[in-house]
Structures are given as C-alpha cells and as structure tokens.
Amino acid sequence: MSRLKHIFVRHVLPLVISGTALVYVFGFAIDWESIPEATDQADMPLFIAITVLDKVVFFLVWCLVQASMVRRFLAPVPRRQIIAVKGGAELARALNNSVSDAAFFLGIWQLCRRVPLQAVVAVTTLPFAAHFLVLLFQASMALAFVPRDLVQFSTMAGAVVFGWTLVVGFIIARQLGAVDRLYDVLRLDALKDRVELRDLIPYIGVFAAFALADIAIQGMATRAFGNPIDWISLTGGIPVLYLAMLLPSFGNFGTREIVWANVFHGYGTEPSLYAFALWTNAIFLVMHVLIGALFLNRALALLADLRRSDLDVESVRHPILRDALDP
C-alpha cells in the first residue's frame, strides 16, 4: 500500500495536475484564432527585449545570492564555479524544475566535498525563504489597495492567508522545539549555530530590491504588449504567480496562463492576457536553453553525474509534489 501511495503522490498526482492544466489552457481556454490579433497590438521587439531582461536579472540575482550563501555558510568556493553550476542546471529547467534543482544541488555538493549533501540543499534553498518573506509582505501591503473589480481579489487574499499560516506555523514549531528536532533528523548539526534568522536580513534586502525591479519589468512588459496592468495590482498579483508556479508543470506552461488570465482579468481581453503569458513562457523556455548552452559542458557533466550518482538527490529535498516529467 505504501508503494502505491508513493507512486500516486510522486508520479500520478503531479502528472494529473500538470496534464489537466495543459489540456484546459491549450484545449479549451485559449481561443487560438484570436491569439494573432492579440499579438498584433503588441510591440513585440520591445516586449521580447524586456522579457529577456527579466530572465537575465532573475538568473543573475539568484546566482549571486546563492553563491554568497554557499561561500558564507558552506565553503569558500570560487563564485565563477558556482555560477557555472547554476548556468549548467538551467538547461534542464527548460522542461523540469526538479531535475534542474537536483543537478544544482549535486554540482554544489561536488564543489564542497566535505559538506553533507543535506547541508548543501538546506543552504541553497535559504534564498527561497528570504524571497518568500518579501513576496508575503509585498502581497499583504498591496491587498488593501488593489482595485477589486479588476483583479481576482479572493485568490490574492487566499495566497496571503496561506503565506501567513506557514509563517505562524513555523514560529510555533520553533517554539515547541520541532525545528531543532528537524535539524537533528536531517543531520544539520553543523548549520545549527552557523545559520540564524538574522543572517537572512541582508538577503531579504536584496530580494526587496529585486521585487521592485520585478514589478517594474513586468509592468513595462504589459505595456509593451498592449494590455497595461497598474503597479499596485502587479504588486499584489506577482506573489500569487510565484506561489502557483510551485505546482508541477511542463515548463510552467498552463500554470502561468491560468493565473495571469484570472488574477488580472480586468486588464485586457482574455485572449490578450493568455497571449501575454504564453509568449512569456515561450521566451523563458528559449532563455533556459540559451543560458544552459553557455555552460554546455558543465550542463552535460551535471546531467551525466546525476544519472550515475548513487545518491537520490531529489529525495533529500522531499517536495510535496514532484514535477510530472521527473524520471
């Protein structure tokens, strides 16, 4: 029974979620005949340039933050080697986030050979905690000001409630000693005294600046595409998009389109909103491949090492759901 449950949770359920999203978006939600008309109103060269900038900024910020944390909490590894690992892992991200993350974990672990793999996973995922807190405060502040007739307010409010529930749950767990016990179970004793919540404060500042840049870039992209979304709505809606993209998907296709068209429903026709998200995904897909190609040798080495490795890298992370394309 446990074997069947494992197969269902780790393989069948993610496939159902991602497959359903794709079938709904590409089979029913998108009116393909109206997509060319929706795209005609866009300044495509400007939109592509802005979207490429978006991906480059995202990649560089995460590279530098994760490199800083690895060097500070694990080992003084040269930044260029960490960036090469991050770039190589991007090639797999074109289709599958989990394999890309696993390749990145393995690559960093190879650079920090004396450090337990669990510690590598813990430290390299710390930026997610910092980014999560910034997005939560961002969405919470925007919630009182968003025009409710133009956005899906219930979804935004639900994301904020969910986020604060996680924060409160973590605080309670820490007070009860559950976090310390988790350190022991995962054999993270070496990090217990080296990583404190206050250590995240500088990185929270970095992600706060990144959040402002993200809002500005997304706002310029919507204007270039011809369906401008006001800044306060983007401030409240972008965190919902990031939260939804935690769900398993095929290169984020389906998930982004559903969220964008529904959360920002009052800022354009449905075809134009779907077209915006679809083009964004397509450009990001190309950028994953191009960035990975810049570090092709490292990418191929990482994927080969991941296939040969006796260590189940993905099992260390234990995500709630697994990407449907995971082998």
Q: What is the pTM of this model?
A: 0.84
* 187 vs 316, residue with greater confidence: 187
Higher-confidence residue: 21 or 140? 140
Whether the per-residue pLDDT at 158 is higher than 90: the answer is yes
* Residues near 15 by beta carbon (within 8 Å), at least 6 away in sequence: 248, 324
| DSSP H helical ranges for 148-198 | 153-175, 178-185, 189-192
Contacts of 265 (CB under 8 A, 6+ apart): 150, 151, 152, 273
Measured between alpha carbons, how far apart are the two ends of the chain, in Å? 22
Determine the Cα–Cα distance for residues 207 and 240; give it in Å rounded to an integer.
Answer: 16
Question: What are 132-149's pLDDT values in tens digits?
Answer: 999 999 999 999 999 999
Nearest to 95 by CA among 294, 247, 304, 253: 253
In whole angstroms, how far apart are CA 146 and each of 153, 154, 229? 8, 11, 11
pLDDT per residue as tens digits for the range 190-212: 566 666 777 788 899 999 999 99
Q: Look at the chain and count its residues.
A: 327
**Cβ neighbours, 10 Å, residue 110:** 15
What does the alpha-carbon distance between residue 107 and residue 207 come to, in Å, rounded to a whole number?
24
Give alpha helix (H) positions in 74-198.
Answer: 79-93, 97-111, 117-124, 126-143, 153-175, 178-185, 189-192
